[in-house]
Structure 1
Amino acid sequence: MSSTRAPDGAPPDWSSVHVAVPPPSARLPGVSMAGFSQRVPAFVDMAMVAHPSVTVLIDLSEGDGLLYGAAGRHGHGSFVVGLAPGDLRAAGRVGACLQIRLEPAVAAAVLGPSGGLGGRVESFEDVWGREAARAQEELRAAGSWDERFAVAADLLRRRTADRSPVDPEVAHTWRTTLVSRGRVRVEDLADEVGWSRKRLSARFHAQLGIAPKRAGRLVRFDHAAHLLAAGLAPATVAFECGYADQSHLHREVGAFTGLTPTAVAGAPWLAIDDVAWPGQSPGA
Structure 2
Amino acid sequence: MRSAAPVRLAAPAWDIAVPVRPSRLAGVTMAGFSDRATSLVDVEVVPHPGVMVVFDLGDRALVVADGKGREQRGCVVAGLAPDRARGQGPAGSFSCLQVRLSPVVARAVLGAAPELSGVVLSLDDLWGADAVRIQERLRAARSWEERFTLVDVALARRHDEGRAVDPEVAFCWGQMMASRGRTRVDGLAAEVGWSRKRLWSRFRSQIGVAPKRAAQLIRFDAAAHRLAAGQAAAVAAVDSGYADQSHLHRDVLTFTGVTPATVASAPFLAVDDVAWPDRH
TM over 0.5: yes
1:51 maps onto 2:48 in alignment = yes
Q: Secondary structure at the match of 2:113?
A: coil
* Contact 1:104 1:116 (C-alpha < 8 Å) held by counterparts: no
1:66 paired with 2:63, answer: yes
Work out the CA distance in 1 between the residues paired with 2:25 and 2:183. Answer: 28
The match for 1:30 is 27
Against the structure 1 CA distance between its residues 273 and 171, is the aligned structure 2 distance closer, same or farther, given a 3 Å change threshold?
same
The AA in structure 2 aligned to 1:187 is: D
Amino acid at match of 2:131: A
Letter in 1 for 2:157: R
Distance 1:273 1:62, change over 3 A: same
CA distance in 2, matches of 1:114, 1:71: 20
* Cα distance change on mapping 1:115 and 1:31 into 2, 3 Å: farther
After TM superposition, give the deviation of residue 267 of structure 1 in Å. 1.6
C-alpha distance in 1, partners of 2:38/2:141?
18
Paired amino acid for 1:277: W
Report deviation, 1:269. 2.9
Quote the Cα distance in structure 2 between the aligned partners of 1:246 and 1:122.
34
Please give the TM-score of this superposition, normalised by the length of structure 1.
Answer: 0.89
> CA shift at 1:68, angstroms?
1.9
For residues 106 and 41 of structure 1, the distance between their equivalents in structure 2, rounded to whole angstroms, comes to: 37
Aligned to 2:259: 260
Q: Any conservation in 1 of the 2:62–2:87 contact (CA below 8 Å)?
A: no
2:225 counterpart SS class: helix
TM-superposition CA deviations, 1:13-69 (whole Å, max 9, x none): 42xx21100121755321100000124675211110001010001111122332423
- Give the CA deviation at 1:172: 0.4
Q: 1:189 to 1:163 in 2, by over 3 A?
A: same
- 2:245 is aligned to 246
Cα deviations by residue, 1:89-134 (Å, 9 ceiling, x for unpaired): 2212152100000011110010124277122211121122221111
Q: Contact 2:107/2:206 (CA < 8 Å) preserved in 1?
A: yes
The equivalent residue for 1:280 is 279
Question: What's the counterpart of residue 123 of structure 1?
Answer: 122
Does 2:122 correspond to 1:141?
no
User: Does the 8 A contact of 2:109 with 2:155 survive in 1?
Assistant: yes
CA distances 1:178-213 after superposition (whole Å, capped 9, x unpaired): 111111222111011000000000000111111100
What's 1:18 paired with?
Answer: 15
The change in CA–CA distance for 1:264 and 1:253 in structure 2 (over 3 A counts) is same
Distance 2:242 2:278 in 1: 27
Aligned-pair identity in percent equals 53
Supply the distance in 1 between the matched residues of 2:246 and 2:210 (Cα, whole angstroms): 24
Residues 204 and 210, structure 2, Cα contact 8 Å, conserved in 1: yes
- Check whether the contact 2:114–2:205 (CA below 8 A) recurs between aligned residues: no
Segments of structure 1 that go 5 or more residues without pairing to the other structure are: 1-9
2:80 counterpart of 1:80: no
**Structure 2: stretches of 5+ with no match in the other structure:** 1-8
Instruction: Give the structure 1 partner of residue 89 of structure 2.
Output: 92
Name the TM-score, length of structure 2 as normaliser. 0.90
The amino acid that maps onto 1:55 is M
CA contact (8 A) 1:60 1:96 kept: yes
The alignment yields a C-alpha RMSD, in angstroms, of: 1.9
CA distance in structure 1 between the aligned counterparts of 2:98 and 2:114, rounded to whole angstroms: 17
